[in-house]
Amino acid sequence: MIKKLLIANRGEIACRIIRTARAMGVATVAVYSDADAKALHTRQADEGVHIGPSPAAESYLVGEKIIAAATQTGAEAIHPGYGFLSENADFAQAVIDAGLIWVGPKPDSIRAMGLKDAAKTLMMEAGVPVTPGYLGEDQSVERLKKEAQAIGYPVLIKAVAGGGGKGMRKVDAPENFEADLESCRREAKASFGNDEVLLEKWITSPRHIEVQVFGDSHGNVVHLFERDCSLQRRHQKVIEEAPAPGMDEATREEICAAAVRAAKAVDYEGAGTIEFIADASEGLRADRIFFMEMNTRLQVEHPVTEEITGVDLVEWQLRVASGEPIPVKQEELSMNGWAIEARLYAEDPAKGFLPSTGRLDHLELVGDRVETGVEERDDISPFYDPMIAKLISWGEDREEAIKGLLDSCLGTEVEPVRTNAWFLARLLAEASFREGDLSTGFIGENQDRLIDPPVASHALLQAAADELVSEQHSDDESYMLKSLRGLRLNRRPEHSVRLRVDGETQTVELSDQEVWEGYVRTLVREGDVRTLFENGAAFKVSSDRNEAGGATSAADGAILAPMPGKVIAVDVAEGDAVTAGQRLMVLEAMKMEHALTAPFDGTVTELSASTGGQVQVEAVLCVVEPSE
């Protein structure tokens, strides 16, 4: 058995691996960048090695530094987690060449499944059904457009080296093809160093079904049943569950057998996932489920499989990497109950899911199982994926599991960083979701309704008003009257107060009851400003003093940087006429592209951004003067 393990990752997955390693008596070594010098995974590991500056390209993606850290600390093995170098065959080979144990599949297996076009060809030879599309070497725009036309719109452009939802674009019409292809290739090049693509027929009623597989060095391969990951945004999973709703035993048997064939075709060892796209227009049927890709690593959503099988997949990884066989046979594996997971992100759904960075001054996460890489007072860095935690719930059945996860989302409290907790709660409460009517397009089709900003309930605001009045009355009655009710000569005192709620004035009736102890969970920030938490959302509430002045916002036509980032494309020049919604430029931040658009018809009168430039949050990038 491995005695000392270096974890070539950070955040939640590093902490997850440390937990199992510690339970097995395996010592752990963390690697960390400048930004992660005081991170939770760095604090939890037995040892830590600094590997470079904050950008991942200068630290977590530099294999030589990671191997040197393992050699320096006497670690016998390297676990890559997911993301970063986890599916880099050259890095896996370098680890092995250095005399270390690679906790993952053979480099040849990674290579075989690493390029989606080659993988699909291999799967066809293994008798695994694949989605119709184009896998050719001719990558010219003309050839790709011709093939897209032959496949029939809508089509999906996918980076052959892609993953994690990056380098993917759905194209609905021929006139959009070239622009979407350009964007897809640019993102793929930045993320994977390879801008080649393939084309697939877009499935009109798609479900994302995946099967967890596991192999060892003794020729054994088993499956641990399926997961449904259909609720996605921009091809990134949001909520995952196991088993898949509506999956009958016959279909399960066929899809899981196909997954095992796929793993055996590449002589697979360790944890892996075979991902399928299902045409669910007539329910889940084996003849309408097609291979998409294989992820040759542990998946973000692996906890839901662990919850229904009772297996610790990280423990299996360490045992198999140490040369042991898989601990159980296929017939000994079974499912128990239902499990569901939500990814809690530091992002603001009401503002186009813009990532939110900063210090977690207040953090309360609740639930059956919480996987996180942060604690209160830690920072959400702009350099990495903005996931705060994974919230996982288990139940005897799907309804019980959903209720548990819904409670977790509703009870989440994070301040001042914004989160998607209230958005997750809305998804879980959707009638169609509760009924198992799922598709990968559900969020996109209903996004405007789902991201409508949350509003504080009357009960919450009334309790807040009572609390503020009670506190201020006990200190200075005249101050309370001026700040909350205002002074009106020759009139009886009013029974309402004015509050500032997230910058907006609201009038709230006072209650005749005493202060509602325990109802309003508040976090005192500055002066009488409180942050109130309700249903996964945070609201800043204070008395309305009718004070003038203060900072003013930028003019309506000023295009501000929503976060720190790098300008990767500028589509306009000073003097250009633009139309409402037209793309002006693209900002890359937190591993994602964010298009900034014109707020109305007008003319670009100022342009301070340039391609390749780094910008800070709220920097004025350009100004659009409205048309008369």
156 vs 621: CA distance, rounded Å: 32
**Cα–Cα nearest to 360, from 377, 384, 345:** 377
Question: Which pair of tokens denotes residue 346?
Answer: 């530091």
Compute CA 262 distance to the chain's CA centroid, rounded to the nearest angstrom: 27
- C-alpha torsion sign, points 290, 294, 295, 301: positive
- Residue 621 is encoded by which pair of tokens? 């990038």
CA dist 67 → 29, 31, 76, 91, 422 (Å): 12, 10, 10, 9, 41
Q: Which of 10, 233, 297, 498 is catalytic?
A: 297
Residue 456 · residue 534 · CB < 8 Å: yes
449 is catalytic: no
Distance CA 304, CA 239 (A): 11
**Alpha-carbon separation of residue 65 from 91, 94, 495 (angstroms):** 11, 12, 66
Q: Are 561 and 587 in contact (CB under 8 A)?
A: yes
Short-list 39, 369, 565, CA closest to 51: 39
Strand, coil or helix: 523? strand
Select from 456, 455, 460, 463 the least CA-distant residue to 510. 463
Q: How far apart are CA 79 and CA 298, in angstroms?
A: 10
3-state secondary structure 322-391: CCCCCCCCHHHCCCCCEEEEEEEECEEHHHCCEECCEECCEEECCCCEEEECCCCCCEECCCCCCEEEEE
Query: End-to-end CA distance of the chain, in Å?
Result: 74
Rounded CA separation 242/292 (Å): 19
Burial of 311-347, coded b for 16+ CB within 10 Å and e otherwise, reads: bbbbbbbbbbbbeeebeeeeeebebeebbbbbbbbbb
- Amino acid found at 145: K
Whether residue 206 contacts residue 441, with contact meaning beta carbons closer than 8 Å, is answered with: yes
Strand partners, 166: 163
- For residues 574 and 606, is the Cβ–Cβ distance under 8 A? yes
Residue type, position 65, single letter: K
Q: What are the residue numbers of the active site?
A: 297
